[in-house]
Amino acid sequence: MNAFMDAIDWTTVYLIVAILGITVASVVTRASFWVLPASFELPSRVERALRYAPACALAGIIFPEVFVRGGQLMLSPENLRIWAVLAAAAVFLIKRNMLLMIGVGMGVFTALRLGLPLL
Protein backbone atom coordinates (compact mmCIF):
# COMPACT_ATOMS: atom_id res chain seq x y z
CA MET A 1 0.00 0.00 0.00
CA ASN A 2 2.83 2.41 0.84
CA ALA A 3 4.53 1.84 -2.54
CA PHE A 4 1.23 2.57 -4.25
CA MET A 5 0.85 5.85 -2.35
CA ASP A 6 4.40 6.86 -3.26
CA ALA A 7 3.78 6.14 -6.95
CA ILE A 8 0.77 8.44 -7.20
CA ASP A 9 1.34 11.81 -8.80
CA TRP A 10 -0.63 13.94 -6.35
CA THR A 11 -0.54 16.99 -8.62
CA THR A 12 -2.50 15.07 -11.25
CA VAL A 13 -4.97 13.82 -8.63
CA TYR A 14 -5.43 17.37 -7.35
CA LEU A 15 -6.09 18.67 -10.87
CA ILE A 16 -8.60 15.92 -11.64
CA VAL A 17 -10.48 16.53 -8.36
CA ALA A 18 -10.45 20.31 -8.99
CA ILE A 19 -11.78 19.92 -12.53
CA LEU A 20 -14.50 17.51 -11.38
CA GLY A 21 -15.47 19.84 -8.53
CA ILE A 22 -15.74 22.86 -10.81
CA THR A 23 -17.71 20.81 -13.32
CA VAL A 24 -20.21 19.68 -10.67
CA ALA A 25 -20.58 23.24 -9.34
CA SER A 26 -21.17 24.59 -12.85
CA VAL A 27 -23.72 21.91 -13.78
CA VAL A 28 -25.62 22.26 -10.50
CA THR A 29 -25.89 26.06 -10.74
CA ARG A 30 -26.91 26.02 -14.39
CA ALA A 31 -29.36 23.14 -13.98
CA SER A 32 -31.07 24.86 -11.06
CA PHE A 33 -32.99 27.02 -13.54
CA TRP A 34 -34.67 23.90 -14.93
CA VAL A 35 -34.90 21.81 -11.78
CA LEU A 36 -36.33 24.37 -9.37
CA PRO A 37 -40.02 25.26 -9.64
CA ALA A 38 -40.93 28.54 -11.37
CA SER A 39 -42.41 29.85 -8.13
CA PHE A 40 -39.03 29.62 -6.36
CA GLU A 41 -37.69 33.05 -5.44
CA LEU A 42 -34.41 33.97 -3.88
CA PRO A 43 -34.58 35.99 -0.68
CA SER A 44 -34.18 39.71 -1.34
CA ARG A 45 -30.99 39.76 0.72
CA VAL A 46 -29.42 37.14 -1.59
CA GLU A 47 -30.56 39.03 -4.68
CA ARG A 48 -28.96 42.22 -3.36
CA ALA A 49 -25.72 40.36 -2.63
CA LEU A 50 -25.67 38.81 -6.11
CA ARG A 51 -25.64 42.29 -7.67
CA TYR A 52 -22.03 42.63 -6.50
CA ALA A 53 -20.86 39.30 -7.93
CA PRO A 54 -19.72 40.62 -11.35
CA ALA A 55 -17.74 43.48 -9.79
CA CYS A 56 -16.13 41.11 -7.28
CA ALA A 57 -15.22 38.60 -9.99
CA LEU A 58 -13.73 41.36 -12.14
CA ALA A 59 -11.73 42.73 -9.22
CA GLY A 60 -10.48 39.23 -8.43
CA ILE A 61 -9.18 38.89 -11.98
CA ILE A 62 -7.78 42.40 -12.47
CA PHE A 63 -6.14 43.02 -9.08
CA PRO A 64 -3.57 40.19 -9.26
CA GLU A 65 -2.79 40.97 -12.91
CA VAL A 66 -2.09 44.64 -12.18
CA PHE A 67 -0.61 44.65 -8.70
CA VAL A 68 1.16 41.28 -8.21
CA ARG A 69 4.46 40.24 -9.81
CA GLY A 70 6.18 36.99 -8.90
CA GLY A 71 3.92 36.48 -5.92
CA GLN A 72 4.82 39.87 -4.45
CA LEU A 73 2.70 43.01 -4.22
CA MET A 74 4.20 45.61 -6.58
CA LEU A 75 3.04 49.16 -5.87
CA SER A 76 6.05 51.01 -7.26
CA PRO A 77 6.05 53.65 -10.04
CA GLU A 78 7.94 51.13 -12.21
CA ASN A 79 4.77 49.03 -12.44
CA LEU A 80 3.52 50.14 -15.84
CA ARG A 81 0.17 48.40 -15.44
CA ILE A 82 -0.80 50.76 -12.62
CA TRP A 83 -0.31 53.79 -14.88
CA ALA A 84 -2.37 52.16 -17.61
CA VAL A 85 -5.20 51.35 -15.18
CA LEU A 86 -5.15 54.90 -13.81
CA ALA A 87 -5.33 56.36 -17.34
CA ALA A 88 -8.15 53.98 -18.29
CA ALA A 89 -10.09 54.77 -15.10
CA ALA A 90 -9.72 58.52 -15.68
CA VAL A 91 -11.02 58.19 -19.24
CA PHE A 92 -13.97 56.13 -18.06
CA LEU A 93 -14.85 58.60 -15.31
CA ILE A 94 -14.80 61.49 -17.82
CA LYS A 95 -16.31 59.88 -20.93
CA ARG A 96 -18.28 56.87 -19.60
CA ASN A 97 -17.22 54.94 -22.71
CA MET A 98 -16.08 51.36 -22.06
CA LEU A 99 -14.50 50.83 -25.49
CA LEU A 100 -12.53 54.08 -25.25
CA MET A 101 -11.39 53.09 -21.75
CA ILE A 102 -10.07 49.74 -23.00
CA GLY A 103 -8.31 51.39 -25.94
CA VAL A 104 -6.67 54.06 -23.78
CA GLY A 105 -5.56 51.53 -21.16
CA MET A 106 -4.03 49.25 -23.78
CA GLY A 107 -2.46 52.19 -25.62
CA VAL A 108 -0.89 53.67 -22.48
CA PHE A 109 0.45 50.31 -21.36
CA THR A 110 1.91 49.53 -24.80
CA ALA A 111 3.49 52.98 -25.10
CA LEU A 112 5.05 52.73 -21.63
CA ARG A 113 6.26 49.20 -22.27
CA LEU A 114 7.92 50.26 -25.52
CA GLY A 115 9.40 53.36 -23.88
CA LEU A 116 7.48 55.82 -26.04
CA PRO A 117 6.80 59.32 -24.66
CA LEU A 118 3.14 59.83 -23.82
CA LEU A 119 3.03 63.63 -24.00
pLDDT given at position 66: 94
Check whether 1 has a pLDDT greater than 60: no
Q: Distance between CA atoms of 108 and 113, rounded to whole angstroms?
A: 8
Tell me the per-residue pLDDT of 94-110, one tens digit each, with 9 for 90 and over.
Answer: 999 999 999 999 999 99
Q: Which amino acid is at 76?
A: S
Report the chain's mean pLDDT, rounded to a whole number. Answer: 90
Q: Distance between CA atoms of 36 and 30, rounded to whole angstroms?
A: 11
Asked if 83 and 108 count as a contact pair (C-beta separation under 8 A), the reply is yes
Q: Distance between CA atoms of 20 and 83, rounded to whole angstroms?
A: 39
Q: What angle do CA 93, 80, 97 make, to 5 degrees?
A: 25
The pTM of the full predicted model, rounded to 2 decimals, is 0.61
Residues sharing a CB contact under 8 Å with residue 108, sequence separation 6 or more, in sequence order: 83, 84, 87, 88, 118
Q: Which residues pair with 72 in a beta bridge?
A: 69
Percent of the chain with pLDDT over 70: 92
